[in-house]
Each structure stands twice: as structure tokens, then as C-alpha cells.
Structure 1
């Protein structure tokens, strides 16, 4: 890309226009030009504004060719005129069903399907008008059963109402953090490269854990592998914490060790009652959010020279879990998201 810089006068003018902008898309266009003109790369602007690089290049070209007026112009007409309302509805439905990587692909589709030619800038504006933004789809299990998930949520709501006063609800799952650094976004001085050391080892810490939803208190166990025996050890820990309880409802996925004969035999004389989630529904297991937060605190942008140091950091997180209680409580809200509804 040809080097692009803005004078101080141009920056001041653009900032004034940004302050006066009434529409988000206008503000985004101005921000893109200011950032590009003050040393940002197209990739950095794409990540900051959550737009695609084609759109950012288009904004820059418009500004270069016609200044602020061309940049903010909402010319929704293509070379052959704008689409009718009914055709726009058809296009909207099509885009809801099909995710295109570039605007050029959409321009080509419209040209072939509706015999109307759009410029890249015209199609970009139309997509913004239809409330589209450039982002990744969310990966979900291919066999997720939305109806089964909805039935579980109903069961869970009823369980909370009918359980005994001294009974408790836990969410249980295993995690296997690997001794290696995880590079994550962070604030780094522009124009510099911040290095993060990495490890070559593949050793893991195997954690079998559960969290009590009433007060966000975790119970964890560490073992060489997560199996029936380590699961029973964890369930015994949970039971010892609640001698007054008649039942301890423990919600978990369908891992083999949770359904093993040894665990089933143990449960015959235990207060613990396992509640199995529908298959392919990690979204319903609230402890998954705890694991995600745990990785953020322990793994992101961290380097541990030895495996012992890494394991110590993992254990420290749970020993000091009260320190993170406020953040954990905000994450583990019971706003269950049903997946597989739009596939």
C-alpha cells in the first residue's frame, strides 16, 4: 500500500467531523482514516474496528479521491441502480444463510442473481444499512440438540425451586491445561514487538473440578489422569463439605468416567446425584466459564520455566479463588445459551 500520512490540520478536521458524526458507520470511516494516517497498519485497524480489510481499503481510497465528503457519502446505488425493497429482503435472507468472506463475493452474487452491479463501497454501505458487521461465526458442536437443551433448562429451573433447603447444586467437569505459553491480546506500544517465551513440553495438569453455584466456591482434585477413581475422590470431597445435605445435585457431561461402573456403584450409597447434561452441550455446563477464566489468569501471556512452576500457578489460582469471586460470579450467571438453533 502506498504510504499514507495525515497533516495535523487534516487530523484536526477529521476529529471534529468524528465528534459531529451522528451515525456509527460515519464515525467508523473517520476513525479508520485517522488511524491509517497516524501509523496504524490495515490489519491493526481491521482488528480494532471489527471490519474487513477490503472495507478499510475502500474507506482510504474514498478519502484519498474525494476527501471527507466522499468518505461520508452514502451512495447506495450501484452502477446499475439500487435494489428494490423486495430484492433487498431476498438478499438479506440469503446472507443470513450464507457467510461470505469478502464483499467482492457478495457483489458477484448480486450481479449474477439480480443483474445489478454494485461497487465495493456501495455494497459496504448497503451491508451496514442492513446491520451486518464483519466477524467470525461461533463454532458449536455439529450434533447439538436445541430441544434437549431447552428441556434441561426447564428441569434446572424446577430443581432450584424444589430441592431441599440444605441441598446444593454443583457443576462438574475436567480440565487439562498444558504447560505452554498462550499469546493473547494486550496493550503493547505501537511499532514494537513484545516477545513471549514458549515451552516445548507437552505435559499437562489434570484437574477434576466442581463449583457450587450458590456461592461460587470451587472444589478441585489433581491426578495423573481423570478417571473413575479420581472422580470418586472429588465426589467424596464435595460430600465432606456438606454433612447436613440430603442430596447434592452434581451436573456434568457424559464423559465415560462419570458413567463408569465404579462411579455408578459409589453413587448407590452417596448423597451425590449426578445430573447428566444433553450430549454436545458444553454451553450448559457453567464450570466451562470458570475454566475459561482460569486460563485467562494463569495461561494468557505468562511463561513458566518449569512444569513445577506451572503446576504451582494452577493450584494457586484455586487456593486464592476468593480473590476472583466477583469476576467469577459475573461470568457464571445462569443465562444459558441454547446452541444449534439456526443450523
Structure 2
């Protein structure tokens, strides 16, 4: 993987990290407390609307391409997303898309994958099972959820807009560095 990263930094290839994530109206609570002897209660009246994001992070430029959905991301959403990326990729160099082994990332027709390779020099690379630490976009999702978003409850009717605005700020307002 280090060789790919060096090639991407040198401009010889495009290296993209792809994955999906979900955002909720209410920030994820990692810890809670309550007085001794009392059970902690969460306010369920706020609602739990969720939106899902399918995105790719360009390793060399830290540019994020994404789509936000108000429903579950499935294979039928991943293929058109990747096809759009393939068609917009730089044909002068290979584009390598690093993905985990989620079932929605598999089952892409061999003819489609061959077309991406021959016409666009666009290749999918699957990570070993159970290795999310190798997919750098996971770090971006963590930053977005736990550090960049404002820690107020987003209104259900504005969740899609709020998440889109947050992710549009990646690279200009929000920066991530990989060491």
C-alpha cells in the first residue's frame, strides 16, 4: 500500500479510498453518566433520522467526492457512483479505488469492471477482511462525526443539507492529514 501512496503523491496514479457511513440527527454518545443508583435515560423524543453517505477520498489531494442518501446505501447505488468516478477519472494514469469487503462492494459485473479497466484505467482493490484501519476514509468519517460537526442536534428536516454542507467543507474548511 505504501508504494501506491508514494505513486499517488508523485502524481503517477490516482489513489482513492471508498466507503460509506451514516450520520444521525443526534450526535453519537460515547459516554454517559447518571447519579449513583439511578439509571441513565436518553431523550428519545429528539428522533433518530439518519442519512447515509457514499464517498471516495483522493489520497494525494484530500478531495472528497460523495453522495448523500436518505435511505440505505446498496449495491445498486455503489455501481453508478463508481461508474461516474471512472468516467471522470484521468485516463493518463491508473486510478486505484481501495474498498473494504462489504457485500455491497462485490458482485459488480465482470464486464463492467473490464470496461472500467480498458476505457478508463480504473481498478478496484479490495482490502483484507476485518482491516478498516487500512481504509483511510474511515479516519475522515470519524473526524466528521466526532470533531467537525457541531455538537447540537440537527433538525430532521435539515439533516441531509447539514451533512452535505459539512462534507463540502472537506479540503477547504476541514483538513485531514495522514502521517
- For the aligned pair, the TM-score class normalised by the smaller chain equals 0.7 to 0.9
1:166-205 matches, cutoff 5 A: 166-183=12-29, 200-205=46-51
**Contact kept in structure 2, 1:211 and 1:217, CA below 8 Å:** yes
Higher relative contact order (CA 8 A, sep 6+): 2
Task: Determine if the alignment matches structure 1 residue 314 to structure 2 residue 159.
Answer: no
**Contact kept in structure 1, 2:144 and 2:166, CA below 8 Å:** yes
Give 1:166 deviation, angstroms: 4.8
* Residue aligning to 1:275: 125
Scaled by the length of structure 2, the TM-score of the pair is 0.76
Give 1:159 deviation, angstroms: 3.0
* Residue aligning to 2:35: none
1:105-124 matches, cutoff 5 A: none
Q: Of the candidates 46, 53, 60, which is equivalent to residue 207 of structure 1?
A: 53
* Residue aligning to 2:3: 158
Tell me: CA distance 1:245–1:200, structure 2 relative to 1, closer, same or farther (3 Å): farther
Give 1:312 deviation, angstroms: 1.0
Task: Determine if the alignment matches structure 1 residue 248 to structure 2 residue 95.
Answer: yes
Structure 1 runs of 4+ aligned residues shifted over 6 Å read none
Scaled by the length of structure 1, the TM-score of the pair is 0.42
Give 1:162 deviation, angstroms: 6.0
Give 1:295 deviation, angstroms: 0.5
* Structure with greater helix share of residues: 1
* Residue aligning to 2:143: 293
* Residue aligning to 2:64: 218
Matched length: 162
Task: Determine if the alignment matches structure 1 residue 259 to structure 2 residue 109.
Answer: no
Tell me: CA distance 1:157–1:302, structure 2 relative to 1, closer, same or farther (3 Å): same
* Residue aligning to 2:176: 328
DSSP 3-state at the match of 2:23: coil
| 1:154-195, Cα deviation, whole Å (9 max, x unpaired) | xx123345679552001111101122234579xxxxxxxxxx
Give 1:320 deviation, angstroms: 2.1
Question: What CA RMSD, in Å, does the superposition of the two structures yield over aligned residues?
Answer: 2.7
Q: Which consecutive unaligned segments of at least 5 residues does structure 1 have?
A: 1-155, 186-196, 334-343
Q: Equivalents in 1 of 2:125, 2:13: separation in Å?
A: 14
Q: Equivalents in 2 of 1:183, 1:161: separation in Å?
A: 37
* Residue aligning to 2:37: none
DSSP 3-state at the match of 1:233: helix
**Contact kept in structure 2, 1:170 and 1:213, CA below 8 Å:** yes
* Structure with greater strand share of residues: 2
Structure with higher Rg: it is 1
1:44-59 matches, cutoff 5 A: none
Tell me: CA distance 1:308–1:236, structure 2 relative to 1, closer, same or farther (3 Å): farther
DSSP 3-state at the match of 2:176: helix
Q: Which consecutive unaligned segments of at least 5 residues does structure 2 have?
A: 32-42
| 1:180-224, Cα deviation, whole Å (9 max, x unpaired) | 234579xxxxxxxxxxx8754232111111100001000111232
